[in-house]
Amino acid sequence: MKKEPVISVRDLSYSFEEGEGMKEVLHGISIDFQPAEIVIIKGPSGSGKTTLLKLLGGLRTVQEGSIIIDGRALEKASKQELVAVRRGIGFIFQAHHLLGSLNVTQNVMMPLSFDPTLNAREARLRAEAMLKRVGLEDHLTKAPSKLSGGQKQRVAIARALVHNPKIILADEPTASLDGKTGREVVEILQKLSLESGATILLVTHDPRILDVADRLITLEDGLVCSDE
């Protein structure tokens, strides 16, 4: 039996305003992503990787074509539905966007604040358990500014995964890290996705982490030029 894709993209095009006109940067992309797949999206600078990831995460509006996530078409979704889609996704970005005014555990608790079934104590215990899984049990009450780059990125991973998302979108998660630390961060991500069955889409230029992928997609000039 064929599995239902978690994300289905059809004939997706996207343009940015440029001067008086528009510049198309994605030209009719069609791809399916399956449950529990780890997919790396690579390609030259400017090929449209980040734009694609942002569209998939509901962070940009679909202009042309279709994106279906868990049966819901983003191009037809209301603002409220888009918020619900975004909350079901774990985002990890190069600049990890940790809040400096909150400690490590409080940062990881943030996505749980939308879950009405959890009280604050349960949310804290969940966040602490997640931080333990990424090896940060000794840093629970520290300010993010007191952590190394690799540790901050592990906090960002814990925060992205604490609400058990089915989809994790990561944009250059190892870009600011040295080779060894970058590798560790990606291996943690891989281990956690194997445990939870989440689909991971990871945009990267980092050749050292390509082997964690089940599937490698190359974008060039806004088109999928290989998918293997």
Distance of closest approach, residue 131 Cβ to ligand ATP, in angstroms: 29
Phi then psi for residue 101, to 5 deg, are -85, -10
Contact 128, 184 (CB under 8 A): no
Of 134 and 224, nearer to ligand ATP (C-beta) is 224
Q: How many CB atoms lie within 10 A of CB 97?
A: 11
Smallest gap, in angstroms, from Cβ of residue 41 to ligand ATP?
9
Residue 20 contacts ligand ATP per CB under 6 A? no
Total residues in contact with ligand ATP, by rule CB under 6 A: 10
Q: What track of x and - describes contact with ligand ATP for positions 168 through 207 (by CB under 6 A)?
A: ----------------------------------------
Among 6, 7, 9, 25, binds ligand ATP (CB under 6 A): 25
Which residues, 30 to 49, sit near ligand ATP by CB under 6 A? 43, 45-49
* Of 49, 153, 30, the residue nearest 92 (C-alpha): 153
CA–CA separation, 64 and 96 (whole Å): 30
Neighbours of 63 (CB within 10 A): 14
Give me the least distance between CB of 25 and ligand ATP, in Å please: 4
Indicate the residue type of 181: T
Q: Does 12 bind ligand ATP (CB under 6 A)?
A: no
**1 DSSP assignment:** -
Report the DSSP pairing between strands 64-69 and 7-18.
antiparallel
By CB under 6 A, tell whether 161 contacts ligand ATP.
Answer: no
The only residue of 6, 9, 39, 51 in contact with ligand ATP, by rule CB under 6 A: 51
91 close to 164: Cβ distance less than 8 angstroms: no
Give the residues lining the site for ligand ATP (CB under 6 A). 16, 25, 43, 45-51
